[in-house]
A and B are shown apart, each in its own frame.
Chain A
Amino acid sequence: MAFSAPTANFTPLNTPFLRSHDNTLVSSLSPSPFFGSTAKLRLSSSPNFNLHRRSGSVVAVSEAVKEKKFKSTRNLLITKEEGLELYEDMVLGRAFEDMCAQMYYRGKMFGFVHLYNGQEAVSTGFIKLLKLQDSVVSTYRDHVHALSKGVPARAVMSELFGKTTGCCRGQGGSMHMFSREHNLLGGFAFIGEGIPVATGAAFTSKYKREVLKEADCDHVTLAFFGDGTCNNGQFFECLNMAALWKLPIVFVVENNLWAIGMSHLRSTSDPQIYKKGPAFGMPGVHVDGMDVLKVREVAKDAIARARRGEGPTLVECETYRFRGHSLADPDELRDPDEKARYAMRDPIAALKKYIIENNLASEAELKAIDKKIDEVVEDAVEFADESPVPPRSQLLENVFADPKGFGIGPDGRYRCEDPKFTQGTAHV
């Protein structure tokens, strides 16, 4: 498989490199046709990289970062606080998902539940670098994205149980987590559906800065999606527009090699997804998604690039899901050897090893975090258990922001004005 030893050559994001066509490229990219205006966009004075067209050659960042690590053994990639924060976030994700599986088999959760075990490094590596106002758009495998973004575990668990205290009051479910407060824009069941939505959010950020003149608005959007999505038309349409308009977005591909039972290699003509970035005029980066520190390095560059207004980046994270596609998937098609190989690269174990070897924290501190997370998850389950189910009146609420959409009732007034409207028989 091509992934275990990435071979393409590709210069990492933060080192300057050969730019033989640099000037011509930049000048030929005359001011972006953003909104049809000819106003020049703020280009950085010294762009750290080019918008390659055909000369997009791409090296595995994992190599470059590894070198960087060797060169500067004294300058670790993370401080102690950061290390513990990353560790805690990943352990929360893992413990939460394991608890979800338990609850599902006990019948407290139902429908479609997609677990994120094994991919925690991608979520933690990227989302922990964001501000509260930055947005995250995800797919149905969104529990851990929600947790990393700051949605409380209690709210997520209640939502999964279908209780009224959930983050969407029980109306969304596992696949549709939304949080206005934490700027988590969902939770989409259809793959590829979130990408245009994320591109729109990035567009809004840029619009606010340039048209509405909120000069300090530099919100970035992250779009998470999988390898199967990369064959979908919406993905390509958005790569084009994001690059065309230089939108502050990072497209994060969680390439776990399998789309339910369809192997990435069987369904894709060119399985190296990061190469699709340069085809549209943005850098494409491949990173080892089982190593949270490498992911974080790449994420820092990509997010900074977007914040500076230089446009989108396509990041392909090679990762793996330890469980099946969903809790209903028997997972028979994946080779047990492959699963074993990736289990050895468990991101939590790897980070733990790094922290201990570099004396950032002691084993006892990490165990204390484990214990604390267990309590948080238990508490979340208890809270969810004790929460009430949605009242009958909730069925008709929130269909419209302005509920006059239910029309005018037989008494000549808007139905929504009748206080008994939602108590009534919801028989239409």
Chain B
Amino acid sequence: MLAISRQRILGQSFQKIRPAVPGLRSYSSAAKQITVREALNSALDEEMSADPKVFLMGEEVGEYQGAYKITKGLLEKYGPERVLDTPITEAGFTGIGVGAAYYGLKPVVEFMTFNFSMQAIDHIINSAAKSNYMSAGQISVPIVFRGPNGAAAGVGAQHSQCYAAWYASCPGLKVLSPYNSEDARGLLKAAIRDPDPVVFLENELLYGESYPVSDEVLDSSFCLPIGKAKIEREGKDVTITAFSKMVGYALKAAEILEKDGIYAEVINLRSIRPLDRSTINASVRKTNRLITVEEGFPQHGVGAEICASVVEESFAYLDAPVERIAGADVPMPYAANLERMAVPQVEDIVRAAKRACYRSVPLAATA
């Protein structure tokens, strides 16, 4: 998304200060562009070569080069014992992965989409997430479940659900959701090195998008911390939290709002569980208004959790009610115009931000 190339990091951020990266592609410094797909592929490649216990498992990850080409070239490089094409048995191969993790291997299980993970959810929650607890620390499960999550384009109700909220509600799991290439590389490497089960939610529509990355990101020891959010854009009037594709939309909305004199602070959550409550709360204490954006269903969603957290910790600082922008409370329809209505758009975020800043007519009761 072009918006991110124009981000400015003013003054202190919660992370290391990095040089501002201008968006002009002709700039010949270290601003290399890679797609999210390349980022994920290189992360898997490096982790597999660093640790022989890491192996991949999933449908079409080998000979087909990955259903979305994320695992391209890995079969040729590491052979069929480390890149396993499985039959269509989510429950079966997830269980096998968890069992392998019990005994010290580090599987990376790919779900063709996270919708299919529902067939295996018993293993993800009961065998993987709860094991360390039930065994009082004796059995840890260093497994990564990754795959595309959320809506794609025109794929219907059974292929479009966002599972961030479901998995993030379960203790024992870590849930990550990257936005750009840097996130994808850093978080996937961190996930593979992590000794706990990690659910890694990617987004199919972002795979082909390229983002600038610095040399530090391309280094093979690059890793992002799990549990820390990133402030993509600083602002002072309203905080917008988002993850995955919605970060791009939030940044675009921030551009539009800036023209109206509203400076929005955009937080890329990166980690849904554990949620970086301190970053969010600190931001809300600065701006006093909060909008949460997500693609999934509204009830019991990520936004609901953030809202509760902010109300608990920063209630006195809020000048306006917290608003959640979420997908429509319906199974995803197929028709293109209905689908557009069922997923948040940039205009929705802009409108909500303005409402929070009292720049438009106060909201009447809506559905």
Which residues of A are interface residues toward B (Cβ below 8 A)?
Answer: 110-112, 159, 162-164, 168, 170-176, 188-192, 228-229, 231-233, 259-262, 266-268, 333, 389-390, 392, 394-396, 399, 406, 409-411, 415, 421, 424-428
- Given A162-B334, A190-B116, answer yes or no on A426-B367 (Cβ-Cβ < 8 Å): yes
Q: Among the listed A112, A190, A267, A406, which residue makes an inter-chain contact with B367, where contact means beta carbons less than 8 Å apart?
A: A406
**Residues in A neighbouring B116, C-beta threshold 8 A:** 190
- Given A111-B153, A173-B154, A189-B159, answer yes or no on A231-B328 (Cβ-Cβ < 8 Å): no
Does B341 contact A426, Cβ atoms closer than 8 Å? yes
Interface flag for B29 (CB, 8 Å): no
Complex A-B: 19 CB contacts under 8 Å: A110-B336, A163-B335, A170-B334, A170-B335, A172-B334, A190-B115, A191-B88, A228-B87, A232-B89, A259-B88, A261-B63, A333-B64, A399-B329, A399-B331, A421-B367, A426-B328, A426-B341, A426-B367, A427-B348
**Residues in B neighbouring A259, C-beta threshold 8 A:** 87-88
Interface flag for B225 (CB, 8 Å): no
Does B88 contact A175, Cβ atoms closer than 8 Å? no
Lowest 8 CB-CB distances: which A-B pairs, in order?
A: A111-B154, A173-B334, A162-B335, A261-B64, A170-B335, A110-B154, A267-B87, A231-B87
Interface residues of B in 319-340 (CB under 8 A from A): 325-326, 328-331, 333-338
Does A267 contact B86, Cβ atoms closer than 8 Å? yes
Query: With the chains together, A163 CA to B336 CA distance in Å?
Result: 9
Does B60 contact A262, Cβ atoms closer than 8 Å? yes
Which residues of B are interface residues toward A (Cβ below 8 A)?
Answer: 59-60, 63-64, 67, 85-89, 91-92, 115-116, 119, 152-159, 298, 325-326, 328-331, 333-338, 341-342, 348, 365-367
Q: Among the listed A171, A190, A392, which residue makes an inter-chain contact with B341, where contact means beta carbons less than 8 Å apart?
A: A392
- Given A172-B156, A261-B63, A427-B367, answer yes or no on A395-B330 (Cβ-Cβ < 8 Å): yes
Query: With the chains together, A268 CA to B92 CA distance in Å?
Result: 13
Does A260 contact B60, Cβ atoms closer than 8 Å? yes
Query: With the chains together, A390 CA to B336 CA distance in Å?
Result: 9
Does A262 contact B64, Cβ atoms closer than 8 Å? yes
Query: With the chains together, A259 CA to B342 CA distance in Å?
Result: 31
Q: Among the listed B88, B115, B330, which residue makes an inter-chain contact with A399, where contact means beta carbons less than 8 Å apart?
A: B330
Q: Which residue in chain A gives the minimum CB-CB distance to B159?
A: A189
**Residues in A neighbouring B92, C-beta threshold 8 A:** 231, 233
Q: Separation in Å of the B195 CB from the closest CB of chain A?
A: 30
Q: Which residue in chain A gives the minimum CB-CB distance to B342?
A: A395
Query: With the chains together, A360 CA to B330 CA distance in Å?
Result: 53
- Given A189-B158, A395-B330, answer yes or no on A409-B63 (Cβ-Cβ < 8 Å): no
- Given A231-B87, A260-B60, A428-B328, answer yes or no on A173-B156 (Cβ-Cβ < 8 Å): yes
Q: Which residue in chain A gives the minimum CB-CB distance to B91?
A: A233
Does A390 contact B337, Cβ atoms closer than 8 Å? yes
Query: With the chains together, A418 CA to B158 CA distance in Å?
Result: 29
Query: With the chains together, A190 CA to B88 CA distance in Å?
Result: 10
Does A171 contact B158, Cβ atoms closer than 8 Å? no
Query: With the chains together, A111 CA to B338 CA distance in Å?
Result: 14
Query: With the chains together, A58 CA to B85 CA distance in Å?
Result: 31
Does B333 contact A260, Cβ atoms closer than 8 Å? no
Q: Which residue in chain A gives the minimum CB-CB distance to B88?
A: A228
**Residues in B neighbouring A410, C-beta threshold 8 A:** 365
Does B337 contact A389, Cβ atoms closer than 8 Å? yes
**Residues in B neighbouring A190, C-beta threshold 8 A:** 115-116, 119, 158
**Residues in B neighbouring A392, C-beta threshold 8 A:** 341
Query: With the chains together, A266 CA to B115 CA distance in Å?
Result: 25
**Residues in A neighbouring B366, C-beta threshold 8 A:** 424-425, 427-428
Q: Which residue in chain B gives the minimum CB-CB distance to A266?
A: B85
Query: With the chains together, A410 CA to B363 CA distance in Å?
Result: 13
Q: 20 other contacts beyond A111-B156, A261-B60, A395-B328, with CB at 8 A cut-off?
A: A162-B336, A163-B335, A170-B334, A171-B338, A173-B154, A189-B115, A190-B115, A229-B88, A232-B88, A233-B91, A260-B60, A260-B64, A262-B87, A395-B338, A396-B330, A399-B331, A428-B298, A428-B329, A428-B366, A428-B367
Does A231 contact B329, Cβ atoms closer than 8 Å? no
Q: Among the listed A188, A192, A228, A390, which residue makes an inter-chain contact with B335, where contact means beta carbons less than 8 Å apart?
A: A390
